[in-house]
Every structure is written in C-alpha cells, then in structure tokens.
Amino acid sequence: MELEQTLAKYFGYATFRPGQKEVIEAILSGKDVIALLPTGMGKSLCYQLPAYLLQKPVLIVSPLLSLMQDQVEQLKRFGEKRVVALNSFLTVEEKRYALHFLEQYRFIFTSPEMLLQQQVQEKLANMTLSLIVVDEAHCISQWGFDFRPDYLRIGDWFSQGNRPPVLALSATATEKVVKDIHATLSLHAPFEFMYNVDRPNIHLGRVLFEDRGDKAKWIVEHVKKTAGPGILYLSSRKRAEQYCELFMQAGLRAAAYHAGYSAEDRQFIQQQFIDGELDWIVATNAFGMGINKGDIRQVIHETMPANVANYMQEIGRAGRDGKPALAILLYSDGDEELAKFVVTGDLPSSSHVDRYQELALQRIAPSQMLKNGELSETAFRVLDYWLHQEPEERVKARLHHFALEKYQAVDEMLKIIKTKDCLREQLVGYFGQKLQKKPENCCENCGIHYDEINTVRMKEEKKVEMMAWESRLKQLLISD
C-alpha cells in the first residue's frame, strides 16, 4: 500500500506536509532520523503513522509532564486507546499495571528519568519496540550537560545492544545542537531533515537603550498601543512579577508565569492564554514549550536570551498562523553580564569537586553537601553524574569548559544583536542555512515600519472586539 493511502486510512489526510513523507520512509527503512520541523507542521504524525504500520509499541521520550499529558489526550480524542504516559502522575498501582502490560500499548510516553528506572529498563529489555522517539530533542543539548543529566544517560542506554530506529524531533536546532543529539544518542548515519528555519512573517525588531531603566516605560507604552496576544520574556521571576503588575495597572489582561508557581497554577494560566482570556504572558524562559497557539502576535525580550537557539525557539512561538507577527529584542549595554551569570551561576565549582572527593574518601555520603546547603540540588546532581563518568581532573576541566561555552554562546547572541547587517540573514546563517528571500518588514536593520504593522493590528483588534460585543448581545437576547 502506498504511504498516502495509509495516511488517508488512519488520519484522513490526502497529502503529506513537507518533510513528513521523507522522514517516515527513512524510519520504515530502519534508519535513524533527525527531523527539524516547525511546531504545528505535523511532527507527531512522523511517529504516529509508523506506529500503525509497524505493529509494535513506539516509545516517546518527552521532556515535560504537561507535554505527555497533552499528547495522550490528543491521541485518546482521536480514538486511540492503547496509549499511556508512564510518569510520576501514576499511583504505585497504576504504574505497576502499566508496566505489566507495557507491550500492549501502541504509544508509550515517558520522561528520561522514568525511562532509566531499573524496573522500566528490565521490562523494556524483554520486549520489542518498533521505534524510539526523542521529542523536543534539543533538550539533550540544552539540559543534558548541566541540568538534567538523565538526558545524557539515555544515550548510554541507546548504545547498548539492539535497538529500533531512533527519531529525534525538534523545531529548531543549531548546528551544535544537532551535533550533540547525534553524538549523545549514538545515532547511526542518521537521515537528517531540516526544514527552513526562517519564519518570514515574524518581523525582527531590536531596540537599543542607553539606560536600562527606560525599558519598562517603553514596553508599557508599546504594549498599550499594539495588539496581543503576546509573550514578554524576562530574565528573572521577580521582574516577571513586577512587569505583570505594570501591565495590569495599564489595564492589560496579563499574568506572570515562571517555575515558582505550582503546576496547577501554570496549567491554568497557560490555558487562559490559549483560550484568549489573557493578552500577555509575562514570563521567564519556563514558558513556551508545548504551547500550541497560532495567533501569538508578539514576542518581546526585555533582556537578551542566553543563546541563539533559545532566542529562535522563543520568537518561533509567534505567528504560527502565518499572519504578521513581531519579535522585539531590547538591549542595553551590559545586559550580557546578567545573562552570563544566570547560565553559569549554578554550575558546580572546582572546590565542590574537591569537597565531594574528600567526603567520599572519608566514607561520608557526598549528599551531605546538599544537606549542608553547600550547593543546589541541580548542581549536586550534575556533579554526581560527571564524577561517576570520569576522573576528578577531567570533571574540573569539563565544568570550566561548560562555563566558557556558555559565555561564548551569550557572546554569539550579542554579536547578532549588535550587527549592522540584516538580523534575519545572521540568524538563519547561524543555523547553517542561507536566507532565500528577504520579506517586507524584514528586520530592524533592513527597516521595519512599526506604524504600519501596528495600525493593521489595531484595526484587526477592533473588528474582533466588535464581534465579541455582538455575540455577547446575541447571547443576552437569546438567554432572555
């Protein structure tokens, strides 16, 4: 049967979207694949269709619990019952049940941490999978080395024994990120599909400030005269809350979002934003992954992101509906210092390495350091991981190298911010691609007619408002 027929039979589509067919064909022929497809371009179909053809369970490694839940719900709505999210939401009994019948499921979603648990490993060793999917695979590079080391450990698991083909999926990945994915997962001559990273409908603005303090005034004035929905990114939780306060005082429907809130609160805020009940999310970089909202019109960065990959990921949340959207990056001299501190501040130091070894020699559990509050939980886990991988001196060198790499990544972002050339060309070039064509309102350096964009938006907004008003009247009339 032709793939198109299978597509029609199971999903009801007549044709594939760009990249899907190539990726699926490579998987079916047993190849590893790295596929970079923009969100909303049918990434999940790339593993869902093979799951129906290959008749063995597909394992999907996912970075966030909320992401797993969304995908499970989506599949269930679609009528698929043989789907499970193996994670800490399950009770002990539910987990035991799920593990016992694991081979019965068609789709198994799980986290790297859960995947590496002994009971899960033992179960998987005794069953055959048709495909392993690493969703949001850039997390390997972004988080594996100094935040969630289990993202590196899944690589060890991949390299032992027979395994099915691996599909690594992501929306955007720089050349370095692709290299990290390839190496960490020990992929064998993977088929690489890279969709064009340029998003021509996103206008790339950049505003320079002499004085950092002028940003708040500028942002509030800007958002008052332009339309949302939008995301304002900040580099600390506290600032996110302060700006949210400013937005609300200005009469905007806004909410703050960062990792300090409970999962329930975050879920609630996210849902309100998706449903159009909020115009602005004022957030740290905790916000965004897995957000499926087509009509985000603006993404503003109050301070620079720590690297180009993050920037691309964050602005990429705007304008998924293809209509014009605006990304504005604010910069004042010295902003890079905070960015550099934040991304390296939590790395373990050489003295932490020494202390760890000293405790180990005295046969004291090194976790004592944690109890004494000598370092953070994250830093301890990272330290513990690397000291089990390689000798002390190598670990020290590596930690030093991480910091240098992170500084360098900030400087690369800074270079793009400060360029006098086309921002779009620079960005796309950073991803190893060449810009095909410059769109209208390309970027700050090519020229953006802010007024034109804003006027169009204000008109659109008025129209929407009127419709809302009319429909509300209608509702009132009907209910009376």
Q: Which positions lie near DNA, rule CB under 7 A?
A: 63-66, 87-89, 110-111, 113-114, 117, 142-143, 146-148, 212-213, 235-238, 258-260, 263, 284-286, 306, 334, 337-338, 341-346, 377-378, 381
Output the six-digit token pair for 451.
Answer: 């007024």
| Torsions phi, psi for 222 (to 5 deg) | -65, -50
How far apart are alpha carbons 171 and 63 in whole angstroms? 14
Give every CB contact of residue 469 below 8 A, 6+ residues apart in sequence: none
Min CB(374)–DNA separation in Å: 15
Min CB(275)–DNA separation in Å: 21
DSSP letters, 212-279, are TTHHHHHHHHHHHHS---EEEE-SSHHHHHHHHHHHHHTT--EEEE-TTS-HHHHHHHHHHHHTTS-S
Is the peptide bond preceding residue 229 cis, with omega within 30 degrees of 0? yes
Q: Which of 128, 148, 125, 137 is nearest to 60 (CA)?
A: 137
Q: Residue 425: which H helix or E strand, with range?
A: helix 423-430
**Between 267 and 471, CB nearer to DNA:** 267
**Between 7 and 61, CB nearer to DNA:** 61
**Between 85 and 204, CB nearer to DNA:** 85
How far apart are alpha carbons 93 and 201 in whole angstroms? 49
| Torsions phi, psi for 424 (to 5 deg) | -65, -45
**Between 213 and 447, CB nearer to DNA:** 213
**What one-letter code names the amino acid at 158?**
F
**Between 65 and 274, CB nearer to DNA:** 65
Min CB(168)–DNA separation in Å: 18
End-to-end CA distance of the chain: 57
Min CB(61)–DNA separation in Å: 11
**Between 203 and 258, CB nearer to DNA:** 258
Min CB(55)–DNA separation in Å: 27
**Between 155 and 200, CB nearer to DNA:** 155
Burial class (CB in 10 A: 0-12, 13-18, 19+), 55: exposed
**Between 130 and 235, CB nearer to DNA:** 235
Residue in this structure with the two tokens 């960490």, named with its chain if needed: 184
Min CB(106)–DNA separation in Å: 20
Min CB(95)–DNA separation in Å: 8
Min CB(245)–DNA separation in Å: 12
